[in-house]
Amino acid sequence: MQRENRHAADFFQACDVICREMDTSKIERLAEGLKHVRDAGGRLFLLGVGGSAGNCGHAVNDFRKLCGIQAYAPTDNVSELTARANDEGWDTIFSAWLEVSCLKENDAILIFSVGGGDLERNISPNIVKAIDLAKSRNAKVFGIVGKDTGYTARKGDVVVVVPQVKAEWVTPLSEAFQAVVWHCLVSHPSLQVRKTKW
C-alpha cells in the first residue's frame, strides 16, 4: 500500500493507542464531579474556542437532555460573544459572561481545549481568565484537553488529558476525543437520567 493511501489506517491506529492509554480513572472522577454539581443545584458552563466551541454546543445539549444538568455555553450566543469581543476584548469574553451569570461556588466550568490556554504565548487568554475567575469564586474547574502543560491541566480540579501519540495530529485527535469523553460521561450510569432515542 502506498504511503499516501495509509493516512486513514495511521489515523485510526493513533485513535486505538489513545483509547488504550486514556486515564479512565480521571473520567470516573469527572463523572463524580459533574454529579456533585448537579446534586448541589449548580450549573455547568462549557467553554471552548474554534472546533472546541462547536463541541461545547453539542455537549450542552447532551448534558441537559440526558443528564438533567443545567448546562450553558457562551459560544451559543454569537451576538453577545461578538459584542464582548468587539467592545471589551477577546480575552474577557468568557469571564465577563460568567460574571453576568453570577458564577458561584456550586457551579463548574468545563473547558474543551487543545492546549488549555497559555498567557505567555497569548493562546486562549479567554480560557485562562475564566479559570482564574472560577477559582476566585470556588467554582470547580474541569477540562478535556490535549496537552498536560497548558493552564487548564495545571490549574483544573479534574482534567482529562487526551494522550499525545502524534504531535502533528494533536488538534484533530484532541477535538475528536473531547466528543468521545463527553459521550462516555453522558452515558455514565451515575449521570444519565434519560435514555437516548437509539
Tens of pLDDT along 18-42? Answer: 999 999 999 999 999 999 999 999 9
* pLDDT tens track for 146-171: 999 999 999 999 999 999 999 999 99
Write down the CATH number for the domain with range 3-186. 3.40.50.10490
For residue 4, what pLDDT is reported? 67
Domain boundaries, the chain: 3-186
CA dihedral 135, 140, 145, 147 (to 10 degrees): 50
* pLDDT tens track for 106-145: 999 999 999 999 999 999 999 999 999 999 999 999 999 9
Residue 79 in this model has a pLDDT that exceeds 80: yes
pTM: 0.95
